Structure 1
Amino acid sequence: MMNLRKTLAFSLLVALLFSFSACRSADEEVISDTQYDLLDTVCSISIYGMPEEDANKILKGAFALCRDYENILSRTVKGSDIYNVNHSNGEFVEITENTYELLQKSLYYAQLSEGKFDVTVGKLAELWDFQADKPKVPEQEKIENALVNIDYRNIELKEENGLYFARLLNTAVAIDLGGIAKGYIADKVTKYIEDQGASHALVNLGGNVVAIGTKSDGKPWNIGIEKPFTERKDIVGYVEVADATVVTSGIYERAFEQDGVLYHHILDVATGYPADTDVESVSIVASKGYSVDADALSSICLLLGSEKGLALIEQMEGFEADIILKSGEIITTKNMNLKEYK
């Protein structure tokens, strides 16, 4: 059985590309590639207005960079920084500067969300195992045992003589960066693409979208916001962006049904179960370079619920939110210019 997360991510990708292509001029050169075995999702990159040979070279390097980051940030890849920290028995482990930077960012958002966003959720995530062919609800006792130790304050970082280190103060916990790593990688890949000379491009790492520059004709990109749980992947609206990121988290992603109940992948560390709020999906819009922040914030808003989530984004400069409620209502921050899709 194809991984449900991949199926849904691909549907989102199709919706996004439809929105893009509908607004692309006929003579606009585009070179694209899609990878299905990276970051446990579907990753697509499109480069516009460049010779094919140059664009393909950039695409190859960008996907290789995705793989490199996956190999240091993944909880499950043996020998990765995160794997090594999780298996270090409380001892400091040397990590890359990138991992150090991302862990710092993770701790910031853990504090901002008062622990709702907590990357020491690794043991709980392992129990739920949403990547399995046939995921199932874990035993209650195992959930309770995993919950006892979750606490981001168990992560200790240090920098010494230009080297970076991390350890876990409680060896019963494990780090999982699934709620923030794609955004971080999207930012790094974006910088790489620009450094290689591309001025007009789209990066989509499983719903973490970055629009580099404008379209070749100088007009903004149109990024569609998907309506959850629609077979045709309808779009509720779109945003016009340039040099910006749009990140969506939703309960329709990476989910399974058991005994008539839908279980999604965004786990509430207070209960050990998927977050049960009034929100179906959250899309965060921010400037290019802030996909890592938008990634974390989209999950945080879903975990907090619409009222607290919207209030949080309203007080953060440079971020806008579109929140789709289970009731079907759509609410947005004051400056979120969501346009109707016709």
Structure 2
Amino acid sequence: MNKRINNKENRRYIERKTTCTAKKKLVSIAMTAGMVSLFITGCGAKNKINTSTIFAMDTVMQIEIQGDEALLAEAEKRIRNIEDELSVTKEDSEIGRLNKEKSATLSEDGTKILQDALKVCEATDGSLDISVYPVLKAWGFTTGQFRVPSDDEIKELIANVDHSKIDVDYAGEKECSVRIDDNMQLDLGSVVKGYTGSYLAEFFREKGVTSGLINLGGNVECIGTKPDGDLWRVAIKSPFEDSKSGVLGVIETSDMAVITSGGYERFFEENGEKYWHILDPNTGKPARSGLASVTVVGRNGTVCDGLSTALFVMGEEKAEKFYKEYSTGNKGIAAFDLIMVTEDKKVYVTEGVNTIFSLTEEYADMDVSVIR
């Protein structure tokens, strides 16, 4: 049994239904050790950015702000608090107690996350389902004890996956009571880092920070612009193992969350087949939709985080249809834009990021379809 673990304008446009060629634009990027999802340039001494790097929520996090260094210590404290409140692997967390006792009262953070998560679950018809945790655990993605469950075991487990059966009583704006079935368990891990990024960005803004980047293991949240006024340049990681640079392209933006999900993030190989952690709640197996990665850009990190997973499960065609129905923010889901990369190396971008996203030189010849 062979098993491998991994936690890890020259540009052409093809519009949907209409093919055209635009002026090409090459972007060349140098990548240094430890630089995963963001590029910071042009920061002189007077524009010093204070930096903090911590390990939390099972990932390396980097926070960089132009502001009081003491705010970084407070930010770390708040990250730890959210993790202690909501970690599925901590028995004394709110989620841990809920999964054990089948009822619990969630704090303000838990309530806000649950509200947005359930909106995404409902809107995507369960392509995101926060009750899939027992299936995820059976595959070993929460324990590191990786295995391929039998079809019978998966069938038994997915019978209890149904977000619509989560009973929520909102006692007020700041807390809620939750009840679940005896065979059900919840996990907010698919949205908690997105929530945390937006939460920290708002905290820093309230403290007067006008320039900063929050990188929570690839979940990037931009605060304002760079100190020199230029837009932040956020790298989109290449999902392809043969990439030389490791970077597919760059988004130039400000005051946005940029969140990417892909099968390359966490997977294991057994008998020559790759199994990744993004499961299709309908099958209980790794989602194989033809997509290699999905990046969601918007102002609500929780929604962006949940959608990056849900749309990966859906696949390009269904994700495009979902975008056209929900992206404007008028149907209960915060407005968003997309960058989707297929396994056969095609890129689909939506109108809102069309002009701010550029492929790197390595991928300059890839076809980019603009969804309008």
TM > 0.5 fold call: yes
**Deviation (angstroms), 1:99:** 1.2
Q: 1:217 to 1:63 in 2, by over 3 A?
A: same
Is residue 2:349 matched to residue 1:339?
Answer: no
Name the CA distance, whole Å, in 2 between partners of 1:135 and 1:304.
Answer: 25
Give the Cα separation in 2 of the matches to 1:12 and 1:296.
Answer: 29
The Cα offsets for residues 87-108 of structure 1, whole Å up to 9 and x where unpaired, read as 114xx42221221222122211
* Pair 1:303 & 2:313 matched: yes
Q: How many residues in Structure 1 have an aligned counterpart in Structure 2?
A: 323
Higher relative contact order (CA 8 A, sep 6+): 2
Establish whether residue 76 from structure 1 lines up as the match of residue 89 from structure 2. Answer: yes
Instruction: Please give the secondary structure, in 2, of the residue aligned with 1:65.
Output: helix
Give the counterpart of 2:98 among 70, 79, 85: 85
The reply to whether residue 59 of structure 1 matches residue 77 of structure 2 is no
Q: Equivalent residue for 2:14?
A: none
The aligned counterpart of 1:109 is 120
Q: Which runs of 4+ in 1 moved over 3 A?
A: 25-28, 131-134, 160-163, 230-233
Percent of aligned pairs with the same amino acid:
29
Match of 1:199 in 2: 210
- Per the alignment, residue 171 of structure 1 pairs with 182
In structure 1, which of residues 66, 77, 96 is the aligned counterpart of residue 107 of structure 2? 96
Please point out which of 52, 58, 62 is paired with 1:40.
58
Amino acid corresponding to residue 311 of structure 2 in structure 1: C
For the pair 1:119 / 2:130, whether they are aligned, the reply is yes
TM-score (norm 1): 0.88
2:37 is matched with 16
Match of 2:343 among 326, 329, 332: 326
Structure 2: distance between partners of 1:116 and 1:339: 29
Amino acid at match of 1:211: C
1:75 Cα deviation after fit: 1.1
Unmatched 5+ residue regions in structure 1? none
TM-aligned CA deviation for residue 12 of structure 1:
10
* Higher helix fraction (1 or 2): 1
**1:160, distance to aligned residue in structure 2 (A):** 3.4
Change (3 A) 1:130 1:13: farther
**Are the aligned partners of 1:100 and 1:166 in contact in 2 as well (CA < 8 Å)?**
no
SS of match in other structure, 1:219: coil
SS at match of 1:77: coil
Q: Does 1:254 align with 2:266?
A: yes
CA shift, 1:144, in A, is 1.6
Letter in 2 for 1:81: E
Q: Equivalent residue of 2:147, what SS?
A: coil
Amino acid in the other structure paired with 1:302: F
- List per-residue Cα deviations over 1:163-203 (Å, max 9, x = no partner): 521110x2101001121111111111111222222211100
